[in-house]
Structure 1
Amino acid sequence: MKLGSLKSALSKDGELCVVSRDLKTAVKATHIAPNLREALESWKDKEASLQKLYTDLNEGKAANAFPVKESDFHSALPRTWLFADGSAFIYHIKLVRMARKAALPETLETVPLMYQGECGQFLAPTEDIPQRDFAHGTDFEGEVGVVTDFVPMGVTPDEALKYIRLFVLINDVSLRGLIPEELAGGFGFFQSKPASALSPFAVTADELGEAYKGGRVHLPLNVTYNGQFFGKANAGAMHFHFGQLIAHAAKTRNLAAGTVIGSGTVSNDDHASGSSCLAEKRMIEQIENGAIKTPFMKAGDTIEMQMSDAQGQSIFGKISQKVKAV
């Protein structure tokens, strides 16, 4: 099924909606749960009712269905308890470490990298990206993410896959100019990782069909920057699968229902696939041409991300944002 959060003046969590497979119509599901966060917290009790409403909507039987306008929707999960962002694409790690002249971790291929990001306020998928100082080096990062049920501490990677409830896309906004100094202090990301955005719609695994296998989504992430092709890297190239990322996050704690786990920037070592962030493109320019040509984002720049199925149908809707000076 496909779920979304309609914007509401009454709640920062929005109103839970079921969205049709073709993303053309939706129906409120607030009689089942007021919002998606609370639906996830009682998923076993709510899933069947949501699935029934989804079936009725796709068959044209749902009362009070309305046309979808993506700008009316928050990020699929407007806020939650935890956003833990991994870095599961080895080639991306190599490029960005090269860009800031940092050594690769000795455990690069055995232990996932992960940081805890802002989760109390995701930007809406059509909301401007605010930037107060362009010396900060504003960048986008296109990712795939999962939303979990309650996950017990110490879960194994294979067991962890069973706790995935939904999939989303993520634009993990990064301030590249602040990252080196923050990391040099030895205490990790904070100021360099402001609010990110999720796709307008979250989907269950069955909506991905055969593209979801081995704990990975084997589909390209289509990225358009300022109206031009930027990347189509395949998300199936994750070195660590989502079960491994979840297990890493849950090594020393339980994960609350509604936890978002990000894949990290989708990246392929085939440069013809393009990139999913500016930092990677800049490093490739340095390697191939000896000089960086692409600047970081400035006011008015636009970024779009979406993922389509084998028939070309958008799965999650579109993240479509513009940078705004504030």
Structure 2
Amino acid sequence: MKLGSLKEGGRDGTLIVVSRDLGRAVRATGIAATLQQALDDWSNAAPRLNALYESLNAGDADGVFDLDVARLAAPLPRAYEFVDGSAYLPHVERVRRARGAEVPESFYTDPLMYQATSAGFYGPRDTVKVTSEDHGIDLEAEIVVITDDVPMAVTPEQAAGHIQLIGLVNDVSLRNLIPGELAKGFGFLQAKPRSALSPVFVTPDELGGAWQDNKLHLPLLTHINGEWFGAPEAGVDMQFDFSQLVAHAAKTRPLVAGTIVGSGTIANEDTSKGASCFAEKRTVETLEQGAPKTPFMAFGDTVRIEMLDADGASIFGAIEQVIERQALPE
């Protein structure tokens, strides 16, 4: 099934069930007011939501309306937790090689992960607001999974059963702020503002054979200002699958229902498939040409992130956003 949230009913939106073709929707408030409420009682809510989904697709549901993506909030407008990995090691390897550094052996056996911003997510058509282009505005096209309640110290095999929903994220990054923050040895803060989520999240069964071994085996397509930017294969070169990422996050603490776990920037060894972020593209340029040629994003630029199924239909809907200057408070 496919689930989203309307921009109504307060900060956490109103839960809706969305048709398979993303054309129609129906409010699910008779089951749960918000997606977070549904996830908190997932074993009871999920079967009822799925029945409504089947009814919607069959044309039997009441209260159906045409879906307008501009009316959508993020499926989870705010979440208790967002942890983001870096599971695609070709990206890590290239970035480190460009600055003459080796990849530590531990990176191949122990996932990289950081605590990301979760207090608010942009909707799929919301503008991305940044105070200055000097920050080095970048996108990161990624896949996320959403869990139910995950016990502490689960194995990857156990963690796989706690992955309930899958979606996309534009993990906005401010690249020129990252070096100074990392130099402090205490992780990201200002360099990682709010991110944007896809119009809908979907259950794993909705992906059919594309969901295998806890990976999503499809290209993730990015356009910048209408021009093709990249379509790396998400199921290729992923060092750690999502069950391993969830288990890593839960090693010393339980994860609450609604936790979002990110894959990190999608990247392949084959650079002909393009990039999922400007940092990746600039790194390839540095390795091939001696210096980066492509600037980071500017105000007025548009980013579009989408994943299509084998028939060319959009699975999650598209994240499509304009970069906009944020005025300083007076």
Which TM-score band applies after superposition, normalised by the shorter structure?
Answer: over 0.9
Secondary structure at 2:129 match in 1: strand
Does the 8 A contact of 2:127 with 2:322 survive in 1?
A: yes
Secondary structure at 1:159 match in 2: helix
Query: How far, CA to CA, are the matches of 2:314 and 2:235 in structure 1?
Result: 17
Normalising to structure 2: TM-score of the pair?
A: 0.97
Q: List structure 1 segments (4+ residues) > 4 angstroms apart after TM superposition.
A: 99-103
Query: How far, CA to CA, are the matches of 1:66 and 1:258 in structure 2?
Result: 26
Query: How far, CA to CA, are the matches of 1:108 and 1:239 in structure 2?
Result: 9
Of stretches 74-83 and 284-293 in structure 1, the one that deviates more from structure 2 is: 284-293
Shift of 1:151: 0.2
Distance 1:233 1:309, change over 3 A: same
2:165 match: 166
1:107 match: 106
Equivalent position amino acid for 2:305 in 1: M
2:154 match: 155
Normalising to structure 1: TM-score of the pair?
A: 0.98
1:245 match: 245
Distance 1:102 1:302, change over 3 A: farther
Correspondence 1:185-204 to 2 at 5 A: 185-204=184-203
1:15 match: 14
Query: How far, CA to CA, are the matches of 2:321 and 2:78 in structure 1?
Result: 18
1:175 match: 174
Shift of 1:101: 5.3
Equivalent position amino acid for 1:245 in 2: L
Shift of 1:98: 3.7
Shift of 1:128: 0.8
1:5 match: 5
Secondary structure at 1:291 match in 2: coil
1:54 match: 53
Query: How far, CA to CA, are the matches of 1:228 and 1:24 in structure 2?
Result: 25
Of stretches 271-280 and 102-111 in structure 1, the one that deviates more from structure 2 is: 102-111
Correspondence 1:59-138 to 2 at 5 A: 59-99=58-98, 102-138=101-137
Shift of 1:104: 2.4
Secondary structure at 1:265 match in 2: coil
Equivalent position amino acid for 2:31 in 1: I
Secondary structure at 1:11 match in 2: coil
1:43-75: per-residue Cα shift (whole Å, max 9, x none)? 011111101100000000011100011111011
Shift of 1:99: 4.6
Q: What stretches of structure 2 of length at least 5 have no aligned partner?
A: none
Shift of 1:96: 2.7
2:228 match: 229
1:286-313: per-residue Cα shift (whole Å, max 9, x none)? 1122221100111001100000111111
Secondary structure at 1:235 match in 2: coil
Query: How far, CA to CA, are the matches of 2:190 and 2:101 in structure 1?
Result: 20
1:179-208: per-residue Cα shift (whole Å, max 9, x none)? 111111010011110000110100000111
1:268 match: 268
Query: How far, CA to CA, are the matches of 2:172 and 2:100 in structure 1?
Result: 21
Query: How far, CA to CA, are the matches of 1:102 and 1:135 in structure 2?
Result: 26
Shift of 1:100: 5.2
Of stretches 16-25 and 123-132 in structure 1, the one that deviates more from structure 2 is: 123-132
Query: How far, CA to CA, are the matches of 1:115 and 1:7 in structure 2?
Result: 29
Does the 8 A contact of 1:16 with 1:36 survive in 2?
A: yes
Query: How many residue pairs end up in the alignment?
Result: 325
1:287 match: 287
CA RMSD of aligned residues (A): 1.0
Is 2:46 the counterpart of 1:39? no
